[in-house]
Amino acid sequence: MKEKENGVALNLLDLTPHRNHRWETDGDNAVVVLVPKFRNRLLVSWLLPRLRSQHFRVKLDAFGSHVWLNCDGSKTVHAIGQSLKKRFGNSVEPVYDRLGVFIKRLQSERFIQLTEKNDRAMDQ
């Protein structure tokens, strides 16, 4: 769970995730992340007015919804793991392996941004 930046080893559990997209909850209290369909300004101004929806809607399960709601910029990945253990018990084990994979996927898809305690952003 360590990655290197500028020759310094970082522990994923010490990083703080911040959400990059808007979101809403559906009737089942599951989180639905609203991902913009286009980022290019020309496409946004030309195509979006012709589309029914400006966003892709990504629905998360209970585990993902809990993680997403805790990616508020105040909790580290380790604290989110502790919260998962408390809420879901043994059903999320191995919690840190699963959480690490999920957090890295959210980061690679640019749903979240990871920062260190000194607020330096970690984008890849």
Q: How many Cβ atoms are within 10 Å of 28's Cβ, its own excluded?
A: 9
Residue-level pLDDT, tens digit, the chain, 124 residues: 445 556 567 888 999 999 998 888 887 889 999 887 766 555 555 555 555 567 788 899 999 999 999 999 999 999 999 999 999 999 999 999 999 999 999 999 899 999 987 555 555 5
The answer to the question of residue 117 being in a domain is no
DSSP state of 117: T
User: What are the DSSP calls for 3-46, one per residue?
Assistant: EEETTEEEEGGG-EEEE-SEEEE-TTS-EEEEEES--SHHHHHH
Instruction: Domain of residue 97: give its range.
Output: 6-109
The answer to the question of residue 121 being in a domain is no
Nearest alpha carbon to residue 35 among 15, 53, 9 = 53
SS3 category, 113: strand
User: What are the DSSP calls for 63-110, one per residue?
Assistant: HHHHHHHH-BSSS-HHHHHHHHHHHHGGGG-SHHHHHHHHHHHHHHTT
The answer to the question of residue 59 being in a domain is yes
What is the number of structural domains in the chain?
1
The answer to the question of residue 116 being in a domain is no
The model carries a pTM of 0.77
